Each structure stands twice: as C-alpha cells, then as structure tokens.
Chain A
Amino acid sequence: MLAIVAIVLMVSLGSSSAQAATSDPTPAATASATAACATDAATGCLQGTIKLPSGDPAVGIKLAIKGGNLDTTISTGADGKWSQAITVAGPYTITVDTTSIPDGAVLDSAAKNPATVTGALNKNTGFVFKIVGGTTAADGTTTQTPDTDTGTGITFDRFAQQFASGIRLGLLLALAAVGLSLIFGTTGLSNFAHGEQVTLGGLLAYLFANVLGLNLILAAIISVVICAATGYFQDALIWKPLRRRGIGTTQLMIVTIGLSIALQYTYQYFLGASTVRIDQANPVTVDLGPVTLSQQSLISMGIAVIVIALVGWVLVRTRIGRATRAVSDNPALAAASGIDVDRIIRLVWTSATALAGLSGVLLGLVLNGVNWQTGLQLLLLMFAAITLGGLGTAFGALAGAMIIGLVVELTNLVLPGDFKYATALVILILVLLVRPQGIFGRRERIG
C-alpha cells in the first residue's frame, strides 16, 4: 500500500516541484509575510489580513502606522497580509489609504478609519479592516453595495446559498462515509486511515491530470481504479492476514491509526505542506435563482448522486448487495448460509476505497485543492456522519452525511467560519445523548 503510493508519487516528484514554483506563488508569499515579524521579549507585532469582497486577498492596500517611535507606511502582500514589528508597547494609529483600495470596493462604513490599536511586546496584535463592495464618488463619498452574501445577517439568499453548499458537502461526504460505514459493518473496524484514502484520490487526480497532463476525466477514472486497487491489496496483504490471526478490532483500529500517520507523512514527504489544485482554470459559475455554484460543483454533485444511487441499488437489489448486508448483520450466520465472507469483505474494501478516492477527486475539483491533511479534516465529519446515521448502516451513513454537510455549511450563517466543524461535532454528541443508536441504528447494537 505504502509502496504503491510511494512509487506513484515518486514519478511526480521532479515535475511537481517545478510546477509548484511557477503555478502557485501564494504559499511562498505567505511564508515571507509571516516571517517578516517574529515576536520576542523586545518586539511585538501588529498584523492583519485584508480581503476583497470576493474573498480573494487584497493586494497592495497601503496602511499608515503611527505611534510609539514609529511613523511608517506599509502595504499588504500578495496574500493580503500585513504586519509591522514594534519595539514600544502602547497605542498605535493605523490609517488605511482609501485610494489604494481597488475600484468596486470600499472600506466598510462600520469600520473605524483611522483605527487605534494597543500594541504589546512579545505578542501578536491583530486588527481587521473589512472591505465591502461599493463605489467611490469623485468627491470622496462612498456608496456601499447592500450585503448579499458576504454580510453577517441571515437573508433568504444567503440561506439558500449555504444550503446548496451544504448539500454539496453532504453528497461528497456521503460518498466517502458509505465506504467507512460498510467496512465498519462487515468487519467491525473503525478505519482511521479512511481519510487518507480520500486524500489519495485527490492527489492521484492531480498527478495524472496536471503533472502527466492527461484528460481530466481519464485522470479521474485512473485515480479511482488505483484507489480501488489500494483497497484490494490492503485487505489482501494487511487486513485478511490480521483477521486470520484473530487480532481484535481495537487492536486493528490502532493499526489503522499507525497507517494513517504513515500515509499522512508519506504525502508530506512528496508534496510538503503545499496545496495542489487539480483544475487551475477559473471556474465557470452557474446561477440558479439565488444560488451560485460553479459548473464543476454541479457536475460533481451529479456524479455523486448517480454513484450513491448505484451503491444503494446494488445493496438492495443484487445478490452481492444482499450478501454484503447479511455479512454486515451477522458474519457467522452469513458464513453458515453459504456466503463467502472473505470475498464480500474484499469487495467491500475495494469499493470503499474506490468511493473514497472518487470523493477525493471531486473534493479536489470543488474545493480549492487538496493537501496532505484534506482527508484528516474530513475523517471526523465522516465518523460523525456514520455515528449519527447509525454505526454500520449504509443508508444511515447517507442521511448522516447530508445532515452533517448541511450543519457545517449553515453554521456559517450565524457563527464565524472557525466554528463550522465544531457545531457538527457538538450535534453529534447531543444526538448520542438522546438517541445513541443514531437515526437508523438498532437498539441492540449499542450496549
């Protein structure tokens, strides 16, 4: 498993490092901007990030900083960040040069300009200037465009937009979570390395589409096939022998943690901390009433719906699906009634990793890119989804994933973005308090 990853990524090593340097200058700029000011006993930092209404960094905004022994003008870097080292604690006045704000945007009228910040030594003091859409008249008066989707109020349009994003996240999450749930159902194993399978899908798609220059669809298909192969060989080489040895599920769970650590650092080994974007063209957006989604998002959602429906159909209507559910219900009884349990588990591993890989490819297209910890961040949401739906039930995983996706995105309406994953997890804990078996789980499974 590791070897496959290593070989595949090895191929990309030379070309990807060259490409990273040319195609994505942002990480380097980030590094230099943050390195510009480091705190120690005699130095403090004033800093902040300015963003345009579109969410892109605002480059080259001039700020005059006055106070202490300082009277200087600095401007934001390519990542929208500014920072200024100070050697005297006390109040500083920061004035934004409004003429340096690009056309079509103005400083938020609610923001103070100039603003007074109390700087301290040995500390980073942050201050945020908010820029919103609007126009500046010749006499200097500004007209602010009414908030549509960047404000903090809850409007129907914002709700609709977040709702759509929630459905999108839910669908992609469901793709990955169904596999995790099937593995849990058939083998009793909580696979902590499942997130890394998602990352693998995204990274392979990047490798084939960008580094090797294949057609995107072909690249996606190859990536999913390779991911499926990793599942097949993982079961053949690691999990089946371990089941034969009679190693308990808790022990196996910790083995998956080891695998997850090893895979994460393998990705970092080849990629470093950088985020790779699979499709680097500017996304074409489609307006559907109040909702704006990129074309890629819509296609990804479509693919996810089709694949999920297919998985559901297979599980309910085909012999192999019924056998899978039988193993999931009671492996011993399934074996006694003539089902080849090992074959079913092999199939579950193969399809689970394929689905996770597909989810990774789609996430890589929909989000801004994939990095080594994309899967790590998703793993908890996947666990939340399958616990919410009922551990080990495939359809529960679907429902749970949709709920988690919606909760994560709708949280943005009322709380800052930092909290969006936290609310999903809080809801998980609350549901366990009331209905520990989850939505579709059965009572006897929990005790």
Chain B
Amino acid sequence: MDQLLQTLFAILNSAISPQTAALAIAAIGLNIHFGYTGLLNFGQAGFMLIGAYGFAISIIAGLPIIVAIIIALVAALLFALILGIPTLKLRGDYLAIVTLSAAEIVRMIGRSSLLTNFTGGSNGITGNEYRGPFTDLSFFGNGQLDLGPFKYDLTGSNGWWFIATAWVIVGLLCLFVWAIMRSPWGRVLRGIREDEDAVRALGKNVYSYKMQALILGGVIGAIAGIVFILPSSLQPDSMGRSETYFIFTALLLGGAATVFGPVLGAIVFFAIRLFVQGIAGQFIPSSIMNGQQTEQFAWIVIGVMLMLVVIFRPQGILGNKKELSFDVK
C-alpha cells in the first residue's frame, strides 16, 4: 500500500513538473506541424536543442534574459527556413527524412569537441551557468511551500517558480493555438492537411502557409527547449531522436489536432511510464526483473502503446476521428 501511494505521489509530482510542461509545449508546436498542417516534422527535438543552445549561450555571454530568449526564437526561425526551403515543395516523407537528419546534425555539432568552449561538448552546459537571470526574476521569495504531496522550494531550481512559469506558458500557448486555429489562417492550414490541391485551387500559396506553420511550430519547440533546460542542465543527448519520438507519442496519445491533446498526452505519457514502473517494481520479484529492468520494461510498454494507439485509436484520447485525416501527402 505504501508503495502504491509512493507511485501515486511520483505520478502526481511528474504531472506538474516543468519537464512535463516542456514536453507539452514541444507537442503543442508539433501539433501545429503534424496535427493541423499535416507536416511530418521528425526534428522537433532539434528545434528544442536550437532554442536551448541559443538561450544558454546568450546568457553565458552576458546578454539580458529577454535578448537571450529572442536569440533562441530567431535561431529556431532560421532553422525552420533552412529546413523548409528545400523540402516543403516535395512529398511529405522528404520533410521527415530531412528534419530527422537536421536535428541529428544539430546534436552532433553541439556535442562535438571542437565547440567545447561554447556548447560544453558532450557534457553540455550545467544549469547553474545560465539559470541565474531567470531565478532572479522570481517574485515568489525564498522558503518552501508544501501543498499536499507537492513539496518544493519557492524559487530554487525545480521549485514553484519554475513550475508556475512553465505551466503559465503552456496555458498561454493553448489559448494562442485555440485562437489561431479558428481564424481563417488556421482553416487554410487544416485545408492543406485535408487536400493540398483544393487549397491551391482556391488561390492560396500553399508553400508559404506550410512555411509559416513550420516556423511557428518550430519557434514553440524552441520555447520548449528553454523550459526543458531551465530546471535541469543542457545535455545535447537528452534532445536526440528519442525525444522527438516521445513528443510524437505524447501528441498522438492526447489527440492530434486538438487544443488540449498535447498537454493531456504529455501528462499521461509520464504517468503511464511511472505507473508501469511502480507496479512492476512492486509486484514482480527482483529476481525476474531488477530495478533497472522495470524502467526499460516501462519504455517497452510505451513503444507498444504507441503502436496500439496509432492502430486502434489514431485520434488519441481527445481527438475527433473526422477531424484527423492521418495520411500526409
């Protein structure tokens, strides 16, 4: 019973953690790409990494935090342009392969030993080097606040200040996505997803709309990168291909082309993992499955779950089957 409660507390804590918020933000960005416009972006983690590096390196160079954030977002914008120009006129799988490759290139360059002075090589950059200016902004004061199972410092790293900012950003982005997707602009995007040629016949410049969507989702990805590294540290390998796959899993789980789908998906994604891990740790004797293996077992469950969701409920938890035509052209 005690252990069940522990698992429950772990799930509750992960549900509000800034890491979950970061995954949700990245999924919101991907939702604009994949859910609304039908672009197969397999490099969302690359956008996160670009944002994270842009932010951390600017702060370390002594720039004010607002400039650092702008630099991060502009970097993501340029990255989207570079990816979009050669591929958006081609069939969908070309974009998939190019974004996947480009994200890997960013990671490999970031972790290369040549740039150790800027990026910290494969060790990355520790949180204390760039966290200062953000912590200084806090008006939460010092001390600790306990709310039931949630016990955190008010301002310290991973504390309430980080949690609150992260979720406020999630809320604002949800509002933003809701607003733009019911605007004429958003309807054009959905039109492109359903039938690109029909939209083109209406005289819309499909290429330009796709590019705008790619940029918008990518910039949101960069915000996710900043939120992701603020409470922890910047490690290039934590934003690799697997991260992109997890973002996809969260998005599809919650429901693509819905406003709250990405957020719900991110929370459920971590909850399922911790739940499986907790249950396996408690009920399966360690001679059959040791602690390390329960973690891997949880990931196997995640992989199988992704397969099952896509096959049996492609619209996810919240989605509307009519809304989502899965086949990207």
Chain B residues near A (Cβ < 8 Å): 40, 86-87, 90-94, 96-98, 100-102, 104-105, 108-109, 111-114, 116, 120-121, 123, 126, 128-129, 241-242, 245, 248-249, 252, 292-293, 296-297, 299-300, 302-308, 310-311, 314, 326-328
Whether the Cβ atoms of A250 and B328 lie closer than 8 Å is: yes
Cα-based distance from A126 to B303 in the complex (angstroms): 37
CB-defined contacts of B109 to chain A, threshold 8 Å: 419, 422
Distance to closest chain A CB from B107 (angstroms): 9
Chain B proximity mask over A213-251: 1 for CB below 8 Å, otherwise 0: 000000000000000000000000000001001011111
CB-defined contacts of B302 to chain A, threshold 8 Å: 261-262
Distance to closest chain B CB from A219 (angstroms): 26
CB-defined contacts of B114 to chain A, threshold 8 Å: 416, 418
CB-defined contacts of A245 to chain B, threshold 8 Å: 311
Whether the Cβ atoms of A260 and B113 lie closer than 8 Å is: no
Q: A178: CB under 8 A from chain B?
A: no
Contacts A422-B105, A425-B104 given; indicate if A447 touches B90 (C-beta within 8 A).
yes
State how many residues of chain A have any CB contact under 8 Å with chain B: 52
Cα-based distance from A432 to B97 in the complex (angstroms): 11
Whether the Cβ atoms of B126 and A39 lie closer than 8 Å is: yes
Which one of A51-59, A265-273, A357-365, A394-402 contacts B?
A265-273
Q: Which of A123, A253, A380, A418 contacts B113 (CB 8 A)?
A: A418
CB-defined contacts of A391 to chain B, threshold 8 Å: 93
Whether the Cβ atoms of B306 and A268 lie closer than 8 Å is: no
Enumerate the 8 nearest inter-chain pairs by beta-carbon distance, A residue then B residue, closest first.
A262-B303, A258-B306, A261-B303, A258-B307, A418-B112, A248-B327, A425-B101, A265-B299
CB-defined contacts of B112 to chain A, threshold 8 Å: 416, 418-419
Whether the Cβ atoms of B91 and A446 lie closer than 8 Å is: yes
Q: A263: CB under 8 A from chain B?
A: yes
Whether the Cβ atoms of A248 and B310 lie closer than 8 Å is: no
User: Restricting to A404-423, which residues have a CB under 8 Å from any CB of B?
Assistant: 416, 418-419, 421-422
Cα-based distance from A122 to B328 in the complex (angstroms): 47
Whether the Cβ atoms of B126 and A260 lie closer than 8 Å is: no
Cα-based distance from A387 to B248 in the complex (angstroms): 23
Q: A124: CB under 8 A from chain B?
A: yes
Whether the Cβ atoms of B303 and A260 lie closer than 8 Å is: yes
CB-defined contacts of A387 to chain B, threshold 8 Å: 94, 97
Closest to B112 in A: A418
Whether the Cβ atoms of A429 and B116 lie closer than 8 Å is: no
Q: A210: CB under 8 A from chain B?
A: no
Whether the Cβ atoms of B307 and A429 lie closer than 8 Å is: no
Whether the Cβ atoms of A380 and B104 lie closer than 8 Å is: yes
Sampled A-B contacts (10; CB under 8 Å): A2-B304, A124-B120, A258-B303, A258-B306, A262-B303, A265-B303, A429-B86, A433-B86, A445-B91, A447-B91
Whether the Cβ atoms of A269 and B300 lie closer than 8 Å is: yes
Whether the Cβ atoms of B306 and A250 lie closer than 8 Å is: no
Whether the Cβ atoms of B304 and A446 lie closer than 8 Å is: no
Q: A190: CB under 8 A from chain B?
A: yes
Q: A257: CB under 8 A from chain B?
A: yes
Of A41, A258, A421, most B-chain CB atoms within 10 Å: A258
Whether the Cβ atoms of A190 and B93 lie closer than 8 Å is: yes
Whether the Cβ atoms of B98 and A432 lie closer than 8 Å is: yes
CB-defined contacts of B108 to chain A, threshold 8 Å: 418-419, 421-422
Chain A residues near B (Cβ < 8 Å): 2, 39, 41, 122-124, 126, 190, 242, 245, 247-251, 253-255, 257-266, 268-269, 272, 376, 380, 383-384, 387, 391, 416, 418-419, 421-422, 425-426, 428-429, 432-433, 436, 445-447
Whether the Cβ atoms of A123 and B129 lie closer than 8 Å is: yes
CB-defined contacts of B104 to chain A, threshold 8 Å: 380, 421-422, 425
Whether the Cβ atoms of B123 and A124 lie closer than 8 Å is: yes
Cα-based distance from A446 to B87 in the complex (angstroms): 10
Cα-based distance from A41 to B131 in the complex (angstroms): 13
Whether the Cβ atoms of B94 and A257 lie closer than 8 Å is: no
CB-defined contacts of B306 to chain A, threshold 8 Å: 254-255, 257-258, 261
Whether the Cβ atoms of A436 and B126 lie closer than 8 Å is: no
Contacts A249-B327, A260-B303, A422-B109 given; indicate if A254 touches B242 (C-beta within 8 A).
no
Whether the Cβ atoms of A436 and B128 lie closer than 8 Å is: no
Whether the Cβ atoms of A259 and B303 lie closer than 8 Å is: yes
Contacts A122-B126, A262-B307 given; indicate if A190 touches B296 (C-beta within 8 A).
no
CB-defined contacts of B310 to chain A, threshold 8 Å: 251, 254-255, 258
Distance to closest chain A CB from B43 (angstroms): 11
Cα-based distance from A124 to B119 in the complex (angstroms): 12
CB-defined contacts of B111 to chain A, threshold 8 Å: 418
Whether the Cβ atoms of A122 and B307 lie closer than 8 Å is: no
Closest to B107 in A: A422
Whether the Cβ atoms of B297 and A269 lie closer than 8 Å is: yes
CB-defined contacts of B326 to chain A, threshold 8 Å: 248, 250-251
CB-defined contacts of B297 to chain A, threshold 8 Å: 265, 269
Closest to B121 in A: A126
Whether the Cβ atoms of B102 and A425 lie closer than 8 Å is: yes
Whether the Cβ atoms of B113 and A262 lie closer than 8 Å is: no
Whether the Cβ atoms of B102 and A265 lie closer than 8 Å is: no
Q: Which of B87, B116, B307, B327 contacts A432 (CB 8 A)?
A: B87
Of A190, A269, A436, most B-chain CB atoms within 10 Å: A269
Whether the Cβ atoms of B94 and A436 lie closer than 8 Å is: yes
Distance to closest chain B CB from A264 (angstroms): 8
CB-defined contacts of A266 to chain B, threshold 8 Å: 296, 300
